[in-house]
A and B are shown apart, each in its own frame.
Chain A
Amino acid sequence: MTLVYLDNNATTMVAPEVIEAMMPYFNSEYGNPSSIYDLAHGANEAVKKSRKTLADFLGAKDPKEIIFTSCGSESANMAIKGVLDVNRNKKHIITTRVEHPCVLNLYKELEKRGYQVSWIDVDSKGDLDIGQLLELVNPDTALVSVMMANNETGTIYPVDKISEAVKMQNPETKVFVDGVQAAGKIPINLKDTKIDLFGISGHKFHAPKGVGALYVKTGTILSPLIVGGHQEKGKRAGTENVPYIVGMACAAELAMQNLNDELTRVRKLRDKLEKGILSNVKNAVLNSKSANRVPNTTNIGFQYVEGELILLHLNDEGICASSGSACTSGSLEPSHVLRAQGVPFTSLHGSIRFSLSRYTTEQDIDYTIEKLPVIIEKLVKISPFQKELKEIFK
């Protein structure tokens, strides 16, 4: 059975090299990094080395700025709650309408607890209204929180420029960047930015699920989310997840080596897929319209056809993709990202995200371009909007 995996923004295959790198830390090197005997030494060294690799990966000045966590959501929660907790007199937060739910829902919760949250709009291409953002920064602003790349459309937001400008307005305002969808896909160089906090998740770049990291710029104070032992310099208690940390470091290394492939070959394949679909399917419209995009993502809406139904039929052909729309998430709410962008209802519910990785092949793309038009043609026949579809297909 063919398997074409085009859902790498959801999760990625664990790289074989990563699994290999992890194995010794389940077997011979099982010591607790905090212990004193020789057995623990290897584990301790491995964590140290991994921290250095992650620092290189994110372009951090100092490995001390890297804190290991269990996932992207933990990194985000730690950054946001940690910063707000030490700045209790400040009650204003600025974020965007298109953040990932793990960040978005936290801000909604904070709103209920008395924080004033300003939500920044995007235009029809998905780009942020940076002017609006900067106007809102005031002495009471504790935090500005903007993702680096959007998980649904792949749009890149200029977080370096934003952090720079925010600090000009209020040097005390902290800047948190959700970098989960950027890591491994585009260059990141945090030491040259004014970003204070940057969260990533291992399983989005071929490490296993269950490990992430938070970059905390030197001098940024935040209270811990998990309190207990002295690990991670008291910033995140809990025995280090040594094999997974090693795995994530190996994945980061591979991502650095393959960044050029991502930016060239993967981008070419993505563009081929996009063009192939848009030119072969008449009711297809591009949702990922920003000029600045990560190289692996495209989001395409199919007018008058519903997204889950497309995904089910793609699945029957062995193609994995996803939609942020209606039925898949268990609620009837269509994608908040596409809605913020003003995508019309005609294609909103039929929007599909394809996300590639360095394991995606040309055959995968050709196969998808061959199968998708047949599926859409079949589903168009079921649609009750025959009059409207006839207009599009004439």
Chain B
Amino acid sequence: MWEYSNKVKEHYKNPKNVGSIENADAIGEAGALACGDKLKIYLKIDNGIITDAKFQTFGCGSAVASSSILTEMIIGKTVEEARKITNKDIADELDGLPPEKMHCSVMGHEALEDALKNYFGEEKEENKKENAEKIICNCFGVSEAEIIKAIKDGAKTLDDIKEINYAGGGCARCVPNIKMLLDRYSKKDTQLNPVQFILKINKVLETNVAGELGKDSGGIELVNVDNKDVYVKLTGTCSSCKNAALTLKNFVEAQLREHVDEQINVIEVK
């Protein structure tokens, strides 16, 4: 179960400003049914001041709470002030949201933005371009530059990125983009040509494995490499050892997976 703040609970239990406004001055939308989240926001604007706001939301508890509190935040504000509200402001006003639920605040922000765009027409489009930094993860406001930096600092997988700057850990809509960046910027040390691949396996067997087996008067020989299957022959005492299968799996295969390729299978040749 999520750990929702009391503020979130209060707002999904008894949401404020539910419904629509007839003759609204601006209507904004975000999300879609297929994604499991959809939000519609209606604004009444007099002399540049938001005098009324109503919402309708299809979504989880935090989506309803985000919409509800957003309407409370903007009523009485000028449209200029409302435009400055970020998704983080919405989350903060709710005393925080669980990381996986940050996208709910993003949706609130998107719907508001959509409504104000609708109100201003096209004229304000220009202003948005001032912000030249390209945001990849909207949930946590992580830019492309920050993700590239994380990759250059050693992040190899999506989980690494999430660990470093949360990107991709919310609604996951940006995951394909993050994966693209991972593909483009991560060091390609795993893509060895077949000869390099075999040489590397051999090196790990010689330096990390043979010495250990030698302590028990055993040894190992590389017989063949077929795609990710590595065929080896155990020699010396290892060849007749009852625990040979275990050694191969827990030690030899583990070493090769760690140092060469995660998908390697070690197969014994008698």
Contacts and interface: CB of A to CB of B under 8 A. Distances in A.
A384 interface: yes
A307 B63 CA distance: 12
A326 interface: yes
**Shortest 10 CB-CB distances between A and B: which pairs?**
A384-B56, A326-B36, A308-B60, A327-B60, A384-B40, A349-B36, A345-B34, A312-B61, A330-B100, A306-B59
Contact of B57 (A327, A345, A384): A384
Contact of A383 (B56, B61, B246): B56
Given A326-B36, A349-B36, A385-B33, A112 B263 contact: yes
Interface in B12-54: 12-13, 15, 18-20, 29, 33-40
A304 B58 contact: yes
B267 interface: yes
Contacts of A223: 245
B60 A309 contact: yes
A334 to B, nearest CB: 6
Interface in A306-337: 306-309, 312-313, 316, 325-327, 330-332, 334
Interface string B246-270: 1000000000000000010101000
A382 interface: yes
A336 to B, nearest CB: 14
Interface of A: 88, 112-114, 223, 227, 304-309, 312-313, 316, 325-327, 330-332, 334, 345-346, 349, 381-386
Contact of A306 (B36, B100, B173, B227): B36
A384 B60 contact: no
27 contacts: A88-B267, A113-B228, A114-B263, A306-B36, A306-B37, A306-B58, A306-B59, A307-B60, A308-B61, A309-B59, A309-B61, A312-B61, A326-B37, A327-B36, A330-B100, A332-B35, A332-B103, A346-B33, A349-B33, A349-B58, A382-B15, A382-B58, A384-B38, A384-B39, A384-B40, A385-B33, A385-B58
A331 B98 CA distance: 12
Contacts of A327: 36, 59-62, 100-101
A307 B59 CA distance: 8
